[in-house]
Amino acid sequence: AQQQAENKASGRTGGIYVPPFKIAALRKQTAGLDASSREFQKLSWESLRKGINGHVNKVNVSNIRSIVPELLELNLVRGRGLLCRALMKAQLASPGFTHIYAALAAVLNTKLPENGELLLKRVVVGFRRAYKRRDKVVATAFAKFLGHLVNHQIAHELVALQLLTVLLDEPTDDSVEIAVNFTKEVGQLLDQVSPAGLLAVFERFRGILHEGAIDKRVQYTIEGLFALRKTGFLEYPAVPEELDLVEREDQITFELSLDDKIDKEDLLDVFRVDDDFEAHEAAWADIKREILGDDESGSDDDDEEDDDDGAEPTAATPAVGGPIQDLTETDLVNLRRTIYLTIMSSVGFEECAHKLMKLDIRPGLEMELCNMLIECCSQERTYLRYYGLLGQRFCVTTRVWQDAFDKAFEEQYAMIHRLETNKLRNVAKFFAHLLHTDSLPWTCLEYVRLNEEETTSSSRIFIKILMQDLAENLGLPTLRDRFDDQYMRDVFAGLFPRENPRDTRFSINFFTSIGLGGLTDALRKHLKDAPK
């Protein structure tokens, strides 16, 4: 019976559950035993297993910094198989905490790279087996774990691209859904380190959508992924700020392929008598002292630096008085990024306008918002009324925004030749919306001079789309009355030139060719009555 108990205790799990009172009794029995004895080593193994499991099971965002040194008190060289097993078991049970387990593995990997490598091997093998068995739940969980190991740079990003290639090569409902979930996890990192690879993945997703061979529900998940990409994967950060515990240059990255022949080293999970137990424990004590000693000395150094700073506050005072000027334009870049993400992530224009107004943009930086709004509008495949309504909301608040959009119109028209036709069309429709809603003063049209010398093919297309959109929304009679207003005639002198007959004819011919000849009735009369 005793032999059967020993065989059971040394099974795949590394030992059966032993109640605390039995462990205490065993400790008393083995107190006088030699460290090389089987009973002593088995008790040590059981204690190591329970310690690792306990720390892994209670780790969370708030206590991860304190859990790491406690884990390093345990022999993670002898117990690296137990550690990987505990992490994978906990992750399968709670996939929602995957980012925490990956962050813990990332910290330990900088100290003990063998642990990180073994974990990566086992996660890859676990995914391969689950995918081969068509076990969607387990495959999704392991794919998520692998994604976070990539985010923490324990695994190279190439394995992420390889995994997506495998999943999308012969798409099924399950494989595409796993690929979508995996892309959400690694999308932000791939966008930074391998934008070309991410672009190829999304092109494949687009092709799958066009083929229409998968279930509608899965197609909707792909469309949701494209929407998420527009926000820069804001809802799925690669490494949350509170879990960014490792400097990038300190991390050790392993290059592993899904096709590699991988040894999971399952024997590391099983208790075995160690003939050199004391020597190995002494070696671990040295390693532990080196790891934890470095951490403690680093903390002391930080404290000393803090003390020095407190003792001599004048040392940090700049020699030259006056405010510090940020010549790197970091604040400006951050403002543009915030504006872009707000515009792209908002559901409606009212929500977006509310969020942007809460940014409290400093006076003088209004043009940044105007330019970003126009840029986002121009990037769309077709014009979205969302942008026009958003610009309208700002213009009706204060005159400052009207002046800013007036200046933006001048700048856009001056550089209109740089825009592609699609972008040009979107910009023209955007300003047409501001004009026909009277959000933007019509005086901005004084920047337009319609003649052969001062226009290009791009500017003429811009004017054509602008005028046609105005006529469509206001009606030709109303638009004609607006242009014939005697008080605004000087403003529209560039659009309807009267000084040079050659320019007058050019304007008449232009409006006639775009189907708006009715706007030039007064101009025709002027040309007819002009002295020859």
Residue 179 neighbours by CB distance under 10 Å: 26
Confidence band of 25 (pLDDT split at 50, 70, 90): low
Confidence band of 24 (pLDDT split at 50, 70, 90): low
- Taking residues 285-306, what's their average pLDDT? 61
Confidence band of 489 (pLDDT split at 50, 70, 90): confident
Q: Is 449 within 8 Å of 507 (Cβ atoms)?
A: no
Q: Which range, of 179-193, 356-370, 427-441, averages the lowest pLDDT?
A: 356-370
Residue 23 has a pLDDT of: 63
- Taking residues 284-306, what's their average pLDDT? 62
Confidence band of 121 (pLDDT split at 50, 70, 90): very high
For residue 120, give both structure tokens.
């990566």
Confidence band of 532 (pLDDT split at 50, 70, 90): low
Q: Is 218 within 8 Å of 173 (Cβ atoms)?
A: yes
Q: What percentage of the chain carries pLDDT values higher than 70?
A: 86
Residue 359 has a pLDDT of: 86
Residue 91 has a pLDDT of: 94
Residues 384-394 pLDDT 10s: 999 999 999 99
Q: pTM of the full predicted structure?
A: 0.54
Q: What percentage of the chain carries pLDDT values higher than 90?
A: 53
Residue 115 CA to residue 515 CA, distance in Å, equals 73
Residues 73-111 pLDDT 10s: 999 999 999 999 999 999 999 999 999 999 999 999 999
- Taking residues 499-509, what's their average pLDDT? 90
Q: Report helix, strand or coil for 288.
A: helix
Residue 40 has a pLDDT of: 84
Confidence band of 2 (pLDDT split at 50, 70, 90): very low
Residue whose structure tokens are 């998420």: 228
Average pLDDT, the chain: 85
pLDDT surpasses 60 at 220 = yes
Determine the straight-line distance between the first and last CA of the chain, rounded to whole angstroms: 124
Residue 316 CA to residue 308 CA, distance in Å, equals 11
pLDDT surpasses 70 at 311 = no
Residue 77 CA to residue 48 CA, distance in Å, equals 11
- Taking residues 194-199, what's their average pLDDT? 92
For residue 14, give both structure tokens.
């590394």
Q: Which range, of 15-24, 205-214, 288-297, averages the lowest pLDDT?
A: 15-24
Q: For each of the domains in the chain, give its residue range(s) and CATH number, in order of start.
A: 20-268 (1.25.40.180), 330-529 (1.25.40.180)
Residue 30 has a pLDDT of: 59
Residue 22 has a pLDDT of: 63
Residues 373-425 pLDDT 10s: 999 999 888 999 999 999 999 999 889 999 999 999 999 999 998 889 899 99
Residue 358 has a pLDDT of: 87
Q: Is 72 within 8 Å of 289 (Cβ atoms)?
A: no
Residue 329 CA to residue 456 CA, distance in Å, equals 34
Residue 18 has a pLDDT of: 57
Residue 188 contacts by C-beta under 8 Å, 6 or more apart in sequence? 151, 232, 233, 236, 237, 238
Residues 442-479 pLDDT 10s: 999 999 999 888 889 999 999 999 999 999 999 999 99
Rg (CA), the chain: 34
- Taking residues 192-221, what's their average pLDDT? 91
Bridge partner list, 254:
155
User: At 70, which helix (H) or strand (E)?
Assistant: helix 64-72
Confidence band of 316 (pLDDT split at 50, 70, 90): very low
Q: Report helix, strand or coil for 33.
A: coil
- Taking residues 486-491, what's their average pLDDT? 84
